A and B are shown apart, each in its own frame.
Chain A
């Protein structure tokens, strides 16, 4: 238990260290765009697929529930809203944790154990500035895009299954989306995406950067990254949902 708390503390310190470097030093925008492109392209297919199937699964489940009520018309709206607000960001973020998070920590970890990070320091550069910061920003930005892509494809998956499985035509599916998917829902979804992206980026860069102990250490870093990000994402999910709910109630006055 103490280990978990001290790890969490170290991650937070690392986060502020990254922010500090960001404030003080410039980053080469070319390096950053390269990273954004790399991360996005690497993970677009996986995230898209995950999004598609999540949407499809949600439609199947909601069809079962709605049928009993004869409220199949609401299917499109409900499935989309649930996917955007809750299930989509969570499952797609899990997928990103595996793909982007694990990859980045493996990459940085390899550089650490092959002494490349020490070499950067010896050659007079700051590894946080040269390696961690571009990756951190790139992961935040492209995770945001990727989550958006996943959500879009999940709507697409929902429409397809609605048509094939539930017999809801796509016009009808789409017609009910605006009535249920409100602006606050979309904002909640986007806010979640952003929080997840930051969580993912800081944990995976921290784990990679602090790897020790050769090939075995790299394997361990990847495992710790995947587990750590997933657990933190679930907690962040709850906190953001709660916050969004409280804000919503306060704003709507109900």
Chain B
């Protein structure tokens, strides 16, 4: 469904992605793990066309998109929804207008249909009766959920999460992770989650990728990963396994 071929991205002299190859299957939940600054978020932003790769190809459903113009990218962005690391809600708009923003621009729906879609999207993230509030009146966890609702309101086929749980408390973290699993299964989307959270990756991922220094160092199902001999993967795992052992 999605394929990266030899993707290279540089910032000045710093090479963030070193010829990355990866293909994502339809309907799977793929976790991308790695230490900070290894180009995980950059990968998602390249996929969404927010950044252009310096070399390599990106294929989405049989189309090579890396050279697309902003206009050509519109249908791709309809297909793929990105949930940002920060809530990135528009401060000046209400929750309703925030969620309706994308619908208004991508479709010609009537107000009633938009109303319905917004309520449905909010329902999917277990929120209601906050349509007329402004983002600043909500807690950070709620803002994250609204941001999620804004993305799924467009009914994307691919959901991309950029560190969805960074900076959240454990309770909200597990709630958000639960949501990711729920949404991916209920809406039958393909999901790519960029994260540091090995625990949650082991719980809900179909496949896990571990990245370091701009390339992939390990790839496999949670079960396969637990047997991995790569030292960084072991480090990531040992913490989780220790915690489990203590419990």
Contact = CB atoms under 8 A, between A and B. Distances in A.
Given A123-B77, A123-B154, A118 B88 contact: yes
B84 A124 contact: no
Interface string B37-50: 00000000100111
Given A121-B50, A121-B77, A122-B77, A114 B86 contact: yes
A123 B84 contact: no
B140 interface: no
Contacts of B48: 118, 121-122
Contacts of B90: 111, 116, 119-120
Given A118-B45, A118-B50, A125 B105 contact: yes
Interface string B82-112: 1011101111000000000110011000000
Name B's interface SS.
mixed
A115 interface: yes
B105 A119 contact: no
Interface in B147-197: 150-151, 154
A172 interface: no
B90 to A, nearest CB: 6
B106 A115 contact: no
Give the interface residue-count category, chain B: 20 to 34
Interface in A100-149: 111, 114-116, 118-126
A116 B101 contact: no
B84 A118 contact: yes
Contacts of A111: 90
A118 B45 CA distance: 9
Contacts of A122: 48, 50, 77, 81-82, 102, 151
A124 B88 contact: no
Nearest to A34: B92
Range class of the A interface residue count: 10 to 19
26 contacts: A115-B86, A116-B89, A116-B91, A118-B45, A118-B50, A118-B82, A118-B88, A119-B84, A119-B89, A120-B101, A121-B48, A121-B49, A121-B50, A121-B70, A121-B77, A122-B77, A122-B81, A122-B82, A122-B151, A123-B101, A123-B102, A123-B154, A124-B77, A124-B105, A125-B101, A125-B105
Interface string B42-61: 00010011100000000000
A126 B132 CA distance: 25
B18 interface: no
Contacts of A126: 70
A124 B106 contact: yes
A114 B87 CA distance: 8
Interface string A146-169: 000000000000000000000000
B102 A124 contact: yes
The residue among A118, A121, A124 with the most chain B CB atoms within 10 A of its own CB is: A124
A121 B169 CA distance: 29
B74 interface: yes
Given A121-B50, A123-B77, A124-B105, A115 B88 contact: yes
B101 A114 contact: no
Contacts of B82: 118, 122
Given A122-B81, A122-B82, A124-B105, 16 more contacts: A115-B88, A116-B88, A116-B90, A116-B91, A118-B45, A118-B48, A118-B82, A119-B84, A119-B89, A119-B90, A119-B150, A120-B90, A122-B50, A122-B77, A123-B102, A124-B102
B77 A115 contact: no
A114 B88 contact: yes
A15 B154 CA distance: 32
Nearest to B153: A123
A118 B151 CA distance: 13
A102 B106 CA distance: 33
A128 B50 CA distance: 14
